[in-house]
Amino acid sequence: MNEGYKLEAYVEKALKHPIVHGFAIHVRHKNFEQLVEAGNLSEKNRFFAASVTKLMVTALMLSLLDEGKIALSDPIVKHVGKRLPKRLHTYKDEDYTDHITILQLMSNTSGLPDYFDKELVEKLLNDEDEAWHFEDVMEYVCKKDAHFPPGHKRKVKYCDTNYELLGAIIEAVTGNTFAEVVNEKNVQPLGLVESYIYDGREDQKLTNIFYKEREIVLPKYMASIGPQGALVTTAKELNVFLQAFFNGTFFNRNHFDMLYDWKLVFAPGLFFYGVGLSMQPISLLHLKKGLIGHWGQSGAFAFYHPGHDVYMSGTVNQYVGHNKAVRVILRALKDIKKHR
């Protein structure tokens, strides 16, 4: 390890906390690169990236945009209208389903209610494993009231339902499953061998997510949520994808100005959301100059810091462990700032 970089020590300290059972992190800064895998991720080092999967969805949507197969202004009914129930989006007793666009899904401004709600979370954390396929999600959502009309100028609501719909659009446009498209467009071109969209297969190298002291085993659920969070990967391969994402491997780099249209989100945490990616502030003085990428509910992360030119990816693999991951990330950034 380069003198002055204490990433191993930071991870070791995090592992002393009783709820942290494993930690994996890969850091790349110019010519400096370091991988630390510890605890139950030191050998069985694949993990669920959870909502970090959404970065792959963003890459795919922009690739399809560049190929002329979609427009972000397309109403979603153009591509998946036959699969939608009546009154999917109802606000103040008015049906706005036909008004929802692809851009609104990607920016979480559709106003759609989220199926991933408190009741479902409680079931999953109690090991009540069940599949939630596209039809199940749509049927559940259409029974709930929307938060606001689609495309509201000031409002944003983080919502997994949006990504279920984006996954369906990807499948409709390409004629292939979401897993097949990810493999063809994201995984194979980068030479990734440890990454795939989980389909319920037995995987001896896959470490399950923990909730505090307890391992959560949810093969049916995880296999049913492809575009929302079913990516299985490693810290190193996730970093390879992250770099490719920001270097314009998958889509025209001119799109980044559009992607960085930040709106403040208050749940499931405090962060900004743009178009298909988030921005995590790390300083009160520079709220909109933080880490750009995505968190996963599993404690997974993939972030780029433009100011320091740093790529960080990995997981604390703990449903309630994000603050432990943040501490390691911030300390690593501080080291890089000192020695760059």
Q: How many domains does the chain have?
A: 1
Give me the pLDDT at residue 258, please: 96
Domain assignment of residue 25, given as a range:
7-339
Give me the pLDDT at residue 340, please: 66
Residue 1 domain flag: no
Residue 68 domain flag: yes
Question: Nearest 10 degrees: CA dihedral of 47, 36, 299, 244?
Answer: -80
Residue 139 domain flag: yes
Give me the pLDDT at residue 164, please: 98
Residue 142 domain flag: yes
Residue 312 domain flag: yes
Cα gap 44→205, rounded to integer Å: 4
Mean pLDDT by 10-residue block, N- to C-terminus, for the chain (340 residues)? 77 97 96 94 94 98 98 98 96 97 98 97 96 97 96 93 98 98 98 97 96 96 98 98 97 96 91 96 82 97 95 97 96 86
Tokens of 165: 């719909």
Q: What is the CATH number of the domain that holds 222?
A: 3.40.710.10
Residue 24 domain flag: yes
Cα gap 298→45, rounded to integer Å: 14
Q: What is the CA radius of gyration of the chain?
A: 19
Report which DSSP code applies to 97: G
Q: Give the number of residues written for the chain.
A: 340
Give me the pLDDT at residue 90, please: 97
Residue 289 domain flag: yes
